[in-house]
Amino acid sequence: MSWNNLLFECSEDGIAVLTVNRPPKLNALNGETIGELDEAVARVATDDSIRGLIITGAGEKAFVAGADIQELAVAGALAAKNLALRGQSVFRKIENLRKPVIAAVNGFALGGGLELAMACAIRIASGNAKMGQSEVKLGIPAGYGGTQRLPRLVGRGRALEMLLTGDPIDAQEALRIGLVNRVTEQAGLLDAARELMRKILANAPLACALTLEAVDIGLNSGLEEGLRFEAAAFGLAAATDDKREGTAAFLEKRKPNFTGK
């Protein structure tokens, strides 16, 4: 499957790399690109050969610089609401993937670009990254989940400062406040993302999937519901071949050979 605005490749180790590819527009998200992202995420969700996903942007200037302002400028109230709902839906699908997703943030991640990065499980930024929710400078609030995910990641006060001023922050500040997990050199960004993904994929696939789900349920439904799901997930995993292999490998002082069963 090929797309006009996305590049997609999957290596033999099960790591897929999805690149938003609109360099002349700084990889801005227009309606067509959002639709293609939806299709790509569906492929990742259903293709068992894909075990983890890295999302990045083409070129060195931008991850995703935001929404396509030309489309946004002509959108009326109903069209704008539908645009927000569509983007929210796609980003939620990324967040709900039972496979790890890493954002490799190379350059500008503004507006919808930061919202895309925040929908990923983990964020790695290059040293030249600039991240912000700049929508208020356009006369609108964030629409693809920024008002919800940013406070969950960095806290209410810091999130509101970014959301209300619209000012971007650099990679080191993003690291300091917990918006990104790591900062690396531009040239080594994808290598760092792949290295981290390989470390994750060395673990039991079902255990990782249940961990992703448990964290999401706890954050969205509260501590009690999260604890109930965690206990159920713990019990479910205890019946798997991977649990038997993992515990045996530990006791035998060898590397486990997980099969995802």
Cβ-contact 55, 120 below 8 angstroms:
yes
Instruction: Give the Cα separation of 197 and 203 in Å (integer).
Output: 10
Q: Which of the following is catalytic: 12, 36, 95, 135?
A: 135
186: phi then psi, degrees, rounded to nearest 5: -55, -45
Q: Which of the following is catalytic: 39, 115, 224, 252?
A: 115
Instruction: Give the Cα separation of 226 and 234 in Å (integer).
Output: 12
Instruction: Give the Cα separation of 94 and 37 in Å (integer).
Output: 9
115 given a catalytic annotation: yes
Q: For the chain, what's the residue count?
A: 261
Instruction: Give the Cα separation of 192 and 121 in Å (integer).
Output: 15
Crossing angle of the two packed helices 241-251 and 205-221, in degrees rounded to 10 = 110
71 given a catalytic annotation: no
Residues annotated as catalytic (active site), given as ranges: 115, 135
